Amino acid sequence: MQRLGVLLRTEPLWALATFRFGQYLHEEASRPVRLLCKLPFALAHRAVSWGLGIHLYPQTQVGPGLYIGHWGGIWVSPHARIGAHCNVNHAVTIGCAGEGERGPELADRVWVGPSATITGPVKVGEGAVIGANSLVVANVPPQAVVVGVPARAVSYTGSARLLEPRTPGASVAQAAAAVAPETAARVQVGPGPGPNRAVVRPEAPEDPLRPAEPSASPAVTSAPTVELEPPRPG
């Protein structure tokens, strides 16, 4: 029942389910099944495209694990290729630069930021990150982080941190560790009223009645004794 609720509240899943069913009809289904489901799929695909603004075509080659976090303004060309475990945000365009040209090819684990555009026969390497509002018109090396118009590489940290599963509140602990390591030791992540519940445990107050511990002091050594000889008679 809980999974059904998540499915009903997560609109991009509707688009992905429709797209995967279209892939099945286009690549694997028998001819009688394709003929039987052609009209229902066409209606569902049109409803998803118009209603959610997610335009995915069955001819597009997409690997497993595609994630779309938000719906609206997503256009993916039938001639594009998307690898496994990629992340596509809203208002993203992945298309051809002109009629008859090849579409972009995205390798595995590519993260595409909001309002980014990837156009033409370009190749985006594995683990690359396309920054928000960027325009990609040239090949992107693996693990590169590119931003700007046109997009240029600014680092090679890759997409691992953007795609890895996040523990609720983990970002709070990581931020505390970066700022003050002694505070990070007191960050406790656990259940609470919010999805990212993190509590910083207060330091234990000092007991005013507790006797003060003796402070260590350097040992005092006595000066050597010097014996004076009596004066000799002249």
pLDDT of residue 152: 94
Residue 60 has pLDDT above 70, yes or no: yes
Q: Which CATH number fits domain 2-158: 2.60.40.1180, 1.10.10.60, 3.40.50.300, 2.160.10.10?
A: 2.160.10.10
User: 67 is written with which tokens?
Assistant: 């994630």
Residue count (the chain): 234
Q: What is the mean pLDDT of residues 104-124?
A: 94
The gap between the terminal CA atoms of the chain, to the nearest Å, is 118
Query: pLDDT at position 155, please?
Result: 93
Is residue 170 classed exposed, middle or buried when 0-12, 13-18 and 19+ CB atoms within 10 A define those classes? middle
Predicted confidence at residue 51, as pLDDT, reads 76
What is the 3-state composition of the chain as percent helix, strand, coil, each rounded to the nearest 5? Answer: 30, 20, 55
Q: Is the pTM of this model over 0.85?
A: no
| Domain locations along the chain | 2-158, 165-189
Element (H, E) at 47: helix 31-52
The pLDDT value recorded for residue 150 is 92
pLDDT, tens only, 224-234:
554 555 556 55
Q: Which residues contact 10 (CB under 8 A, 6 or more apart)?
A: none
Task: Tell me the pLDDT tens digit for each residue of 117-165.
Answer: 999 999 999 999 999 999 999 999 999 999 998 999 999 999 988 887 6
Over residues 78-102, the mean pLDDT reads 87
Computed on alpha carbons and rounded to an integer, the radius of gyration of the chain in Å comes to: 32
Q: What percent of the chain has pLDDT over 70?
A: 64
Report the pLDDT value the prediction gives residue 187, as an integer from 0 to 100: 41
- The chain-wide mean pLDDT, for the chain, equals 74
pLDDT(80) > 60:
yes
Task: Considering only residues 87 and 202, tell me which one the structure prediction assigns the higher pLDDT.
Answer: 87
Confidence of residue 56 (pLDDT cuts 50, 70, 90): confident
Q: Tens of pLDDT along 156-196?
A: 999 988 887 654 444 444 433 433 444 444 444 444 443 34
**DSSP H/E element including 94:** strand 93-95
The encoded tokens of residue 164 equal: 């890895």
C-alpha–C-alpha distance, residues 111 and 105, integer Å: 13
DSSP state of 140: B
Phi/psi at 195 (5° precision): -70, -25
| Paired residues of 61 in beta bridges | 81
> What value does the mean pLDDT take over residues 44-49?
80
Could you read off the pLDDT of 29-38 as tens digits, one per residue?
788 888 888 8
Is the pLDDT at 97 greater than 50? The verdict is yes
Query: Do residues 139 and 146 touch, judged by C-beta distance below 8 A?
Result: no
**Contact, 129 vs 111, CB < 8 A?**
yes
How far is 208 from 190, CA to CA, in rounded Å? Answer: 32
